[in-house]
Amino acid sequence: MMAIMNTKTTATTNLSSTQFSTGQVTSADGTTIGYRHVGRGPGLVIMHGGARASHHYLHLAEALSDSYTVYIPDRRGRGLSGSKGEDYSIRREIEDLRALLQKNDARILFGHSAGGFVALEAALDLPIEKLALYEPAVSIGGSVNFDWIDPVEKAFARNDPAAAFVSFIKGLHMNWMTKLPFWFLYPLARLMLHEAEGREMVALLPTVIWEAKEIQRLDSTYERYRSLSAATLLLSGSKSPTYLRNILPVLAQTIPYVQQLELPGLNHNAPDQEAPERIASQVKQFLLDRG
């Protein structure tokens, strides 16, 4: 459901030699939304996945920047942006994006995982002309498991971030490691917390809980996407979890103007870690084909 880091990937993977500028907008409730931007051309916004932030998508932005001005906001509660506020909801995320679009006149949106869910919801209300999504975290008929939320919250309440992390990854079933027993993963998670990347991951976990509750609240409401006017590309990787890939044909039958493509050999973290250049190539081809 959420974009999560590959434990074999070092923190330097998401660094880029390209010079990125920063900016900020003020959302409807007064929250500051900070963003990175690079490139020239039509405006394209990248909505990052869960447990991620704007800097994890610098390579993807760089690969798109020869054709587009790419904006990567830190969704509220992360990085350059202000806190989530007391009344967080998908509506707040849409208001944040609205402020960014109005300032920069962007009409193209790319969303990954939970960011794909936000992008889909936003495209119902905002003037999005073209929408590219990589495994949007939409739940249909309980397809996404939310049983991990309670143990993660309880682990944080007793100040045990390692237990929170293990409960999170085991609940999402992203790869073979999540099948290992809790007692085996727990000491590995404690070691992970000694590294900067591990500490960042755990620090971002509370943001995943907020958005997961919204995804759960809107379970099986996908029929609303029949009103989407944006030309839409649905991407997935052949190595991603089945529950993420299985919803895409349903969305493809629901969204009016849509293309669906599964990319061989890729997993859920293709846009931010594994293959950002390949994802950028597919997105650019889609946007070119659609004029």
Is 68 in a helix, a strand, or coil? coil
pLDDT at residue 176, rounded to an integer: 83
Please enumerate in sequence order all residues whose Cβ is within 8 A of that of 26, keeping only pairs 6 or more positions apart, or say none: 32, 33, 99
Alpha helix ranges (H) inside 22-80: 58-64
Of 158, 230, 163, 225, nearest in space to 190 by CA: 163
Where in the chain are the domains? Answer: 11-142+220-289, 149-215
pLDDT > 90: what percent of the chain? 89
Over the stretch 27-74, which tens digit does the pLDDT of each residue have?
A: 999 999 999 999 999 999 999 999 999 999 999 999 999 999 999 999
Over the stretch 173-208, which tens digit does the pLDDT of each residue have?
A: 888 888 899 999 999 999 999 999 899 999 999 999
Burial class, 39, CB count within 10 angstroms (exposed 0-12 / middle 13-18 / buried 19+): buried
- Residue 149 pLDDT level (bands cut at 50, 70, 90): very high
Helix H or strand E encompassing 110: strand 108-112
**What pTM did the predictor assign?**
0.94
Of 75, 135, 146, 88, nearest in space to 111 by CA: 135
Q: Hey, what CATH class is 11-142+220-289 in? A: alpha beta
pLDDT at residue 289, rounded to an integer: 84
